[in-house]
Structure 1
Amino acid sequence: MAMKTALLDVTPLRASPAFRRLWIGRTLSGFGGQMTLVAVMFQVWRMTGSTVWTGAVGLAQALPIVVFGLFAGTVVDHGDRRRIYLIAVTGQCVCSILLAVQGFFGHTPVAAVLVLVAVQSSFVAVSGPASRSFAPRLLPPAQLAAGLALNQISFQAAMLLGPALAGLLLAWAGVGGCYLVDAITFGLAFYGAFGLPPMRPEGEAPRPGLLGVADGLAFLLRDPVVRGALLTDLAATVLAMPISLFPLINAQRFGDNPRTLGLFLSAIAVGGLLASAFSGAFTRFSRPGLVMLGAAAVWGVALAAFGLAADPWLGLAFLVLAGAADTVSVVSRGVIVQLATPDALRGRVGAAEQIVGQAGPDVGNMRAGLVASATSGPAALVSGGLLCVAAIVAIAVTAPRVRRFATAEA
């Protein structure tokens, strides 16, 4: 019985047909999105042979979300979120179709490809906050953690398997084929959301423009629970993000073996999948604040230990642990943010979450690279992990409401 309760809780899929359709559509769309990411990188590299241009792909994806995110959140809080989401998904689908057309016929300037990527990301800036508001309306509070864990396992599966599927499809159908598959999966995401009930925000409508953005920011600064949850995410990513250090650690300690480097990234994904598969062990716990803080601290400790590990297998084990801790923290943080945020503000708060999730890892990887250039790769990992733990302890001490936050069943 104990093992059964520790496994992934699929009750939301059984209990809510609307959530089930939405989850299936978004899961398949996640695989399509990973295929497009790989295809764009591959196409831009083939067109330019320049790492500057391949780096610009990430910039084209991130900038619209960071720049337009809070404004998009205000839009989401103004109207029927289901309708807004369907419009945004349609926009993403059209961009994928245009990418497929240029992929099949070729001779497109690389700048035009990046513009299409940026436009598609602008629609993501809208669809992301809208979709984050659905689960609390479709599921009772007792099932929300399980629903978010299901979302997380689909995300982890797409991250792990999507690039491999993209590689096979690139070899068979080229970049145009990858983009076309992505467009089809957006159609499935549209179908998954089409049957949802209307999702108009509950409560007072936001003020227009910058005033609505200011109200959202004021809530983030004023509410200690939501603020503490987002600060926990920033502490974990900005202070301890390890990805940019993997090539250096691999070269210094493991002979610059490309197979080891690939395993570093896979290990984090495997840890995330394992945590999602056994998410019943923490989604049924009624104190998500404690779970989030503890998992974020384990993330920091595991990465510091990876920085000290001389044996590659021991290092991979620490990365698996870090990936599992990250998933536990992400799911628990999502529960806290969703339950602590009034429905009228969920679009703007979801946009802030999306911005933090987009910008935090990029800033963290930059911080790690700068520290490593001044010291060493292991020093950057260890110092980042310990700083993360110190920040989590500070949040736990100064924001007791985060520690004490409990679901309705507590």
Structure 2
Amino acid sequence: MLADIGPLRDSPDFRRLWFGNAVSYTGQQMTAMAVALQVYAITGSSFYVGLVGLCSLGPLIVFGLYGGAVADAVDRRRLGLVTAGGSTLLSVALAVTAIAHLRVVGLLYAIVALQAVCFAMNSPARSSMIPRLLTPEQLPAANALASLSGGVGQMAGPMLGGVFVGLWGYQAAYLIDAAAFTASLYAMWRLPSMLPGAGAPGEADERRRPSVVEGLRYLAARPNLRTTFVTDLAAMVLAQPRVLFPAIAGLWYGGDTRTVGLLAAAPAVGALLGSVFSGWLGRVRRQGFAVLLAVASWGAAVAVFGLTRNLLLGLLFLALAGCADTVSMVFRNTMLQSAAPDDMRGRLQGVFLVVVVGGPRLGDFLAGSAADLFTPTAAVVGGGLACIAAITCVGLFQRGFLSYDAGRPAA
């Protein structure tokens, strides 16, 4: 039942890449916390802190798509080195602003936006490398390990960022982040060349002219791959309760900001536990059915959370939702990596990044609007039920996805 570490044991390249990503992602989360604290210290306004996320959202969406096209045109190893190097320099730039006591919020926003560009260009290239380093049977375990490292980074990074800022100032978090990127740079440096297409005959010219539109057209004509994005949007747009946590904490549980923190942490804890106990995922062949079941479970857990007024039960169902989300993510990413040709994986991973980034934001807007029009209870319960209904329709109308077999991956 525990996470399968076979990919780490069998592939030194994957082991170095996984460790480098885990360390650098934790550093990125430290920096995100430090930037938020620094902006608040300068402005004293939560509104300006919120603009930090907005400054990164646009570049993540635009350059996520563009970065996927670039990853299908150039040596992915070189692209990973350049973008990781850029992120390192930007962390150093943040440290310089802190050491020089520059109280210019616009400069911080600009650096955060450039960091988002580097991340959006790096992520598709890094993700599309994984199928070249492992066998298809090892991909579910590899994606579960990636989820595990991401969960640890999300939980430990902000906490460490707050500690280091409190002890040694903002520059400490930024400099540690810059040092953490050396692990990712070293892992990329040790990789072999990663030209798209794996050197297949007749593909070189086509690789040099990939486009975002071409990738979207490919996705539109591949029902199984397209459905992986539809299912994620059903969960993140229709049943995303996080924006309501401040209201729920007071109205349902009579709590305060600490209760909000518990509600926000519960899905992350569930996701982390889902990654830790992910050893069984590699034995699942009907991955499409598993995705539908996991997303429906997310919707059901959110709906039940909306009905309970006991804090411990509420936290339990949010954790179950987070666990279901991890299972869905592992299989969706595995299907993208195994069913798509290598010279298309970068663009599909770019779309994956855009959906992961943009879907929850749309869900926040929908849940907040529904709560204002009706009640928070109606928004949460209705969203969970809508998610289940949408997934049921997907299962009825996309029978090929329902019967998708990991032994015979088909786009």
Q: Secondary structure at the match of 2:191?
A: coil
Counterpart CA distance in 2 for 1:283 and 1:396 is 22
TM-score, structure 1 as length reference: 0.96
Q: Secondary structure at the match of 1:133?
A: helix
User: What is the deviation of 1:69?
Assistant: 2.1
**Residue in 1 aligned with 2:158?**
163
AA paired with 1:311?
N
Counterpart CA distance in 1 for 2:186 and 2:207 is 31
RMSD after superposition = 1.4
Paired residues for 1:67-146 under 5 Å: 67-146=62-141
User: What is the deviation of 1:206?
Assistant: 4.5
Q: Would the alpha carbon gap of residues 207 and 274 (structure 1) be closer, same or farther in structure 2, given more than 3 Å must change?
A: closer
Paired residues for 1:11-22 under 5 Å: 11-22=6-17
**Residue in 2 aligned with 1:390?**
389
Counterpart CA distance in 2 for 1:320 and 1:177 is 33
Structure 1 window deviating more from structure 2 (283-292 vs 32-41): it is: 283-292
Q: Would the alpha carbon gap of residues 208 and 266 (structure 1) be closer, same or farther in structure 2, given more than 3 Å must change?
A: same
Gaps of 5+ in 1: 1-5
Q: Secondary structure at the match of 1:406?
A: coil
User: Does the Cα contact within 8 Å between 1:282 and 1:291 map onto a contact in 2?
Assistant: no
User: What is the deviation of 1:256?
Assistant: 2.9
AA paired with 2:21?
R
AA paired with 1:170?
V
Q: Would the alpha carbon gap of residues 281 and 163 (structure 1) be closer, same or farther in structure 2, given more than 3 Å must change?
A: same
Gaps of 5+ in 2: none
**Residue in 1 aligned with 2:35?**
40
Counterpart CA distance in 1 for 2:390 and 2:208 is 36
Q: Secondary structure at the match of 1:7?
A: coil
Q: State the number of aligned residues.
A: 404
User: Does the Cα contact within 8 Å between 1:8 and 1:146 map onto a contact in 2?
Assistant: yes
**Residue in 2 aligned with 1:151?**
146
User: What is the deviation of 1:208?
Assistant: 6.7
Counterpart CA distance in 1 for 2:47 and 2:282 is 42
Q: Secondary structure at the match of 1:134?
A: helix
User: What is the deviation of 1:24?
Assistant: 0.5
TM-score, structure 2 as length reference: 0.96
Paired residues for 1:243-282 under 5 Å: 243-282=242-281
User: Does the Cα contact within 8 Å between 1:77 and 1:206 map onto a contact in 2?
Assistant: no
**Residue in 2 aligned with 1:212?**
211
**Residue in 1 aligned with 2:45?**
50
**Residue in 1 aligned with 2:311?**
312
Counterpart CA distance in 2 for 1:400 and 1:75 is 33
**Residue in 1 aligned with 2:188?**
193
Q: Would the alpha carbon gap of residues 347 and 409 (structure 1) be closer, same or farther in structure 2, given more than 3 Å must change?
A: closer
User: Does the Cα contact within 8 Å between 2:77 and 2:191 map onto a contact in 1?
Assistant: yes
**Residue in 2 aligned with 1:330?**
329
Q: Would the alpha carbon gap of residues 409 and 349 (structure 1) be closer, same or farther in structure 2, given more than 3 Å must change?
A: closer
User: What is the deviation of 1:71?
Assistant: 1.8
Q: Secondary structure at the match of 1:273?
A: helix
Counterpart CA distance in 2 for 1:137 and 1:130 is 12
Counterpart CA distance in 1 for 2:161 and 2:206 is 41
User: What is the deviation of 1:120?
Assistant: 1.1
**Residue in 2 aligned with 1:295?**
294
AA paired with 1:260?
T
